[in-house]
Chains A and B, each alone.
Chain A
Amino acid sequence: MLNKQLLIVGAGPAGLAASIEAKKAGVKDVLVVDINMKPGGQLFKQIHKFFGSSAHRAGVRGMDTGAAMLKEAEELGVEIWLNTACVGFFDERVACIEKGMPDGSKQIVYMKAEKIIIATGGQENVVRFKGWTTPGVMGAGAAQTMINVNKVKPGNKIVMLGTGNVGLIVSYQLMQAGCDVVCLVEAAPGIGGYGVHASKISRAGVPIYTKHTIKEVKGNGPNGRVSEVTIVEIDPKFQHIEGTEKTFEADTVTLAAGLKPVSDLVRLQDIELVFNGPFGGWVPTHNEKMETTCPGIYVAGDTTGVEEANTALEEGRVAGVSAAEALGAISAADAEAWRAEIWTRLDGLRMGPFGEKRAIAKKEVMDAFPGVAEA
């Protein structure tokens, strides 16, 4: 069995930031594992410029922030295993890891980690309608990964469901990649995301149907692929209004109905969870150190409630510092001061009309924390 001081699961902004902070605080032996072929998590598909303050790299494209973090982590000597999934834990922080080998095969590795940070991010919600499993119906994030990371179009004629920021941004990016976005469909009476993103869509002349949903997708394309999409108006109780159907020819449907935290690893442990609507579902409770009810296991980022890259990054930093403190790399007083600085920035990120809801949600999750269990 391998031994590690600190194991971090997930190489998104939260996991990478945690690894950087832990290294800076003097932890010698830091390993980050990620199931994907490339590190950076969701950040690497964000080719648009971000909002926020300059302290948080606003105006910088997500992918460039990701590349900068990766470089810093590598320079500090963080070990990163890609194509590698953490598939479960045994008691006493023994992790079972499916390690990707250079020849493409996988090897099971058992690892005893003194501390663990879980930063597994979020996953897209699905929407069910008649024909939702037809090939060509996919998550908006999947389409985004294809165009922005792999530079291949998932289809030619696309219907987007959802007009939150993800729906708007991915629609625009699909057009940048040369796809034809047929229309956007939104159940709510108004557009969900920021006006700047929406105006890019309207300027391109793409219709946005609010108070509408998808009624049916037909798969009469090659090999049963999507061939047409029927949308329908809905009443305030989200019921279809007969006779308002419109049918479009399309080969792809992208779903942008929000994200939920990936909590499978957290669930495998005796970690206390709470349900939180604004955060996307069940999330682990934690204290101001980002430690869970299970001693030595920390959480950070979208796993603890779906927010954004900067909050994920700052939470990762808190977890990294706390793990370093628990490993004896820095004093409690130093760690406390370091964390206070980060929390001030986190509070700043959770202000304003969009942020305030998240500030309340975070407080609820932390108020529910009953304390770390006895080791």
Chain B
Amino acid sequence: MCMRVTDHVILGQDVDPKMIEITVDGQKIPAKEGEPILAALLAQEIMVNRYTVKRNEPRGLFCGIGQCTDCAMIVDGRANVRTCITPAVEGMIVETQYGYGGADDVK
């Protein structure tokens, strides 16, 4: 199911957003150019962004404004990128982060 709100009572309709494609764990998904990566993931009902260091527990969106780091993922090879405040760019490679996201942490 797509989670986008396409017609909102107060915010109205989107006028022709520029759609791009990003790759998430090897799978291509659509994104609106410039929206937070996290929003593109949520639109596809992808809720888990990372697994914790000690107990390997899943984490996802919690604060939405860059304060909590629960949404951190590996973006274009860089670990610990907060996807709720990082804009989606055409061709971006996004990966679920395990632990600190280093080579040793890959599950």
In the complex, residue of chain B having the shortest beta-carbon distance to the beta carbon of A137: B62
A353 at interface (Cβ–Cβ under 8 A)? Answer: no
Q: Please determine whether A36 and B5 come into contact, CB atoms closer than 8 angstroms.
A: no
B47 at interface (Cβ–Cβ under 8 A)? Answer: yes
Give chain A interface residues in 136-166, CB to chain B under 8 Å. 136-139, 141-143, 145-148, 150-156
Q: Please determine whether B59 and A176 come into contact, CB atoms closer than 8 angstroms.
A: no
Contact partner, A136, options B10, B14, B60, Cβ 8 Å: B60
Q: Please determine whether B45 and A35 come into contact, CB atoms closer than 8 angstroms.
A: no
A183 at interface (Cβ–Cβ under 8 A)? Answer: no
Stretch at the interface among A222-230, A268-276, A282-290: A222-230
In the complex, residue of chain A having the shortest beta-carbon distance to the beta carbon of B48: A223
Q: Please determine whether A135 and B11 come into contact, CB atoms closer than 8 angstroms.
A: no
In the complex, residue of chain A having the shortest beta-carbon distance to the beta carbon of B59: A135
A178 at interface (Cβ–Cβ under 8 A)? Answer: yes
* Cα distance, A83 to B89, chains bound together (Å): 15
Interface residues on A, range: 35 or more
Question: Which residues of chain A come closer than 8 Å to B3, judged between CB atoms?
Answer: 152-156
Question: Which residues of chain A come closer than 8 Å to B47, judged between CB atoms?
Answer: 135-136, 155, 222-223, 225
Q: Please determine whether B9 and A138 come into contact, CB atoms closer than 8 angstroms.
A: no
Question: Which residues of chain A come closer than 8 Å to B89, judged between CB atoms?
Answer: 104
Q: Please determine whether A135 and B48 come into contact, CB atoms closer than 8 angstroms.
A: yes
* Cα distance, A88 to B103, chains bound together (Å): 30
CB distance from A170 to the nearest CB of B (A): 12
Give chain B interface residues in 26-85, CB to chain A under 8 Å. 34-36, 39, 42-43, 45, 47-48, 57-67, 84-85
* Cα distance, A149 to B103, chains bound together (Å): 35
Q: Please determine whether A152 and B62 come into contact, CB atoms closer than 8 angstroms.
A: no
CB distance from A254 to the nearest CB of B (A): 11
Q: Please determine whether B5 and A153 come into contact, CB atoms closer than 8 angstroms.
A: yes
Question: Which residues of chain A come closer than 8 Å to B11, judged between CB atoms?
Answer: 47, 148, 151
Q: Please determine whether B67 and A123 come into contact, CB atoms closer than 8 angstroms.
A: yes
| Interface residues in chain B, defined as those with a beta carbon under 8 Å from any beta carbon in chain A | 1, 3-6, 8-11, 14, 34-36, 39, 42-43, 45, 47-48, 57-67, 84-87, 89
10 A-B interface contacts by CB (under 8 A): A37-B85, A83-B85, A104-B86, A123-B63, A135-B61, A136-B47, A141-B64, A148-B11, A153-B4, A223-B58
